[in-house]
Amino acid sequence: MKVNLGSNTISNFIAFFALIISIVAILFTYNVYKADKKEIIQIESKRVYNGYIVEIDTTNKMPIIPVLWECMLTNNGNHVTSITTYHITSVDTGGAYFHYSGMDLGLIKDGKQLFLPINIQAGESIKFYAKVGVWADTKAMSSFLTNAISLDNLTPKKIQYYMALDSIDIFGNSIDVNFFENENLMFRLNSDKKQRIYNLSMETGRKKDVQCKLRWYPQFVVE
């Protein structure tokens, strides 16, 4: 008896090929869906150099100076995203994160404290400020307190000016400085270029962690 397997083989091949196409189509659809739901959040920051009043607690044994960083939080995804929590930590020279009392002074938006959670629509950007208690160098703080005519209506510009009178910056770096009118100055770091770097971390409702560095000096100047 003669058996013809040619038609069965072709049928099986067509069925197998159709199965492969179905699997590829399902995977493609899933990846498109996953990409559509993906959270794409970005944070950028820059230090605010002047234009606000700084209140310093001289009774605090730690040399803490409140400083603002302007932050821009952008939702580049296709769906609304919820920001639920945030953390501000200091980064040491070895890359480890740590916290100290008086460092995290809150988030500010439109002159008021920003409370979480907040929702950000797709394509939306939100500007806010991170207020950080910067741990200044002890010698720099001493120079500031000695040279300051008054502690009222202090601005970052004035604080930097009073420290620069002793050729020092907030982190104890030795500086070459030129003074101009209205407490304006220009200086160059000429020592080890120390600075304290902070890290702002924000978490979404889906547990995605987004971070950015809060730097006193730009990254290309000091590491």
Give the tens place of pLDDT for each residue, 203-223. 999 999 999 999 998 754 433
Q: What is the pLDDT of residue 26?
A: 55
Give the tens place of pLDDT for each residue, 61-89. 889 999 999 999 999 999 999 999 999 99
- Residue 220 belongs to some domain of the structure: no
| 87 shares its domain with 179 | yes
Total number of domains in the chain: 2
| 19 shares its domain with 88 | no
Distance CA(217)–CA(223), nearest Å, equals: 8
What domain range includes position 142?
A: 41-214
Rounded to two decimals, the pTM is 0.79
- Within 8 A by CB and 6+ apart from 113, the residues are 106, 107
- Residue 79 belongs to some domain of the structure: yes
Q: What is the pLDDT of residue 194?
A: 82
- Residue 125 belongs to some domain of the structure: yes
In the chain, % of residues over pLDDT 70? 79
The lowest-confidence range among 17-21, 34-38, 107-111, 146-150 is: 34-38
